[in-house]
Structure formats: structure tokens, C-alpha cells
Structure 1
């Protein structure tokens, strides 16, 4: 059965993003659009039809990651399950189960391509925090939690999840072994206790 045009286009877009992710991790801002096209197996015209610049590619990569990491916030589940699911996603990313090279790639780019690093941050981590903050505000309004400052609480929760491990990932230092699911559940439980309604 032949694929429809949209399926072919989506496959090429994903190939471009996957190629860019790998190359950004290897070479940082020195990655060229030509190299991305070659690695993706697409023509330069196909690449430029989808993304006008490395900044646009970086934004798309970060948005894709933010959407995946914040998926638990859209499930409508109980707060403990939602927060544990969110924590699991971040821990998988931090530990390297879903590509730690992305973090190192952005770190490599930031001094030489600050506009690219800023675009990636806005579309990825900052958007993830915004979504978590919005979810926390909803939980406050519903009376499930007591969170007077959802933005600050979102940053606190991400900090609780990542801890010192974020630095290990960026520096490519091995993580000590830990039970990821148990840590995610414990982090969620401690956060919920801290922000339990009075």
C-alpha cells in the first residue's frame, strides 16, 4: 500500500530533525545545513523547504522534546501519577535513556551561537516549565494543591527531579545507579506533601 504525501513529508521532517540532533551533539554550532541534509538523506531544497535555518531546526527539536516530556500533564490523572510520570520523563532524559547528547549539544552551541541556544531554550525547557506551571495553577484552582506561585513551584519541582544529575549529563560523567521509577514516585510524593492544601 502506497504512503500518502503527508506521510512521506513527515518521515523526511523527522529524518532531518534526527540528523540535526546527532550533528548538533557532535559539532555544536559548526554543524552546517548541508551536513544536516546529507545525514538526513534529503536534498538541500527539501531541507530549506521545511527549515530556513539552524535556529528553526533547533526550535523544532526543542518543541518536539518539550511535547514528549510534558505529555503526562495532559493525561488528566491524579496529581501523584501525573507528577511521577513527568519526573520519569526528565530522569530518562537526564540519565541518557533518550539522548543526553541534546543537552551537551546546546551547551556546545551556547558560546558561539547564543541566538540558537536561546531559541532552543525558549522552545524546549522554558516551554516545559510554562506547561508545568499552568498545570500546577490548575491543581491550585481545583483545590488539589496549594501553590501561590506556580512558576516558582515548577522550577522547584524540576530542580528536585534533576538535582546534581543534570551537571553529570552535561559533563558526560556516569550517573550512579538508581531506581528511576522509585525516585520519580518519591520526588512526586515529597513535592505533593510540601504543597498539600492546608
Structure 2
């Protein structure tokens, strides 16, 4: 798959590039990955089909770009919080009393992003198309959940060193934390049994998840 880098394009071409991505995102959400054609994307974006292919050599590359954009937004918000957490943990020389508070903030940010209606819709598409286009699922996993779990594992390893948590396998604990915080609300959203939670509900869900996690791993 080949994609033209936005930063390498002149201003006018950047506008077209972004218009193509936005049009494709709308169509993918409306009709799914399979039924969406590059012709339809070109028409919705107000550009020629040739222009679309000059930016993205395939529909898979176009969807991958949208997915990467989604993961970048998620990653940036989560990374900023984990950076703060790691800096605080690096300065500590014993059990970190602020660790539960930091996990609560992280849980809220994580839930806010993954329960966003657009992200839920894109996640449904990835699941629906994974059997036909396994590379899409692989790309999503590598850029999203796997990267996040690795960042969180490093934080848990440091908290284990400080004596705040008792964690022998930080990578496993990282996956467990994410699973405990997001379920069952994320699953219910995916299958249409829940509506997007409010800010107050997200705080409550995150608090319950953090409490359950600490009951397992607290030192």
C-alpha cells in the first residue's frame, strides 16, 4: 500500500488530500468498507478519480490512512498522560501515592476516545472486514492497542519497582487494565446496546475499573 505524505504536498494538494480522507471516512461509516468505491470517494470529495489514486494507490491504503489518523489521535492523548505519569514515577523513590489518581485520569481519557461514536463505527468496520482484509486488522492492532499496552506496561514495571504495585508480568497487567476499564461498555456500544456515555458516566466507569485493577495488583 502506498500513501502520499501530507507534509510533502503543496497547500492546494494538501486540501485535496484532506478532502479525500474526509469523504472516504464519511462513506466508510455510511456504507462500510466493501461497498465504498474509489469513484464514490472522488465524487464526494469533489476531485477526479485520478487525483484520488495519485494520493492513495488503493482503497486499502486510503482506509489505512484513516485508521492511522484515528490511532494517532488516540495515541497522542494517551501518550501525553502516560508521559506525565512516567515523569512522576521517575522522580519517586518509594510507593507512589498519586498512582490511583493517575490511573483514573488515564482511564477517563481512554474511555472518552474509544466510546466516541466515530471511533466505535470505524472499529465495527475493522472487525467486519478483518477476515477479508487481515492487513487492516493487523495495522490497527500494531498502531493502536499494542502500542498503548507497551506504554502502559513500562509504567506498571516502574510502579512495581517502587513498591506501589505487585506485578510480575507488566505486559499482561497492561492488557488487563485496558480490558477491565473498557468492558462491558465498549462491547455494548459495538453491538448497539448502549448509547455514548456522558462525562459523569465515564468517570464512574473508570473509577470502578481502576478500583478492580488495584484490588488485583495493589502491593
TM-score by length of 1: 0.74
Q: Is the 8 A contact 1:96 1:169 kept in 2?
A: no
Q: CA deviation at 1:152?
A: 0.8
Of 100, 118, 126 in structure 2, the residue corresponding to residue 106 of structure 1 is: 126
Matches of 1:32 and 1:175, distance apart in 2: 30
| Equivalent in the alignment of 1:188 | 210
TM-score by length of 2: 0.69
| Equivalent in the alignment of 1:58 | 63
Superposition RMSD in Å: 3.1
Structure 2: state its 5+ residue gaps: 1-8, 86-97
Structure 1: state its 5+ residue gaps: none
Count of residue pairs brought into register by the alignment: 193
| Equivalent in the alignment of 1:47 | 52
The higher-RCO structure (CA 8 Å, 6+ apart) is: 1
Q: CA deviation at 1:29?
A: 2.5
Q: Is the 8 A contact 2:70 2:119 kept in 1?
A: no
Q: CA deviation at 1:27?
A: 2.1
Instruction: Could you list the structure 1 runs, at least 4 aligned residues long, displaced by more than 6 angstroms after superposition.
Output: none
| Equivalent in the alignment of 2:149 | 129
**Structure of higher CA gyration radius:** 2
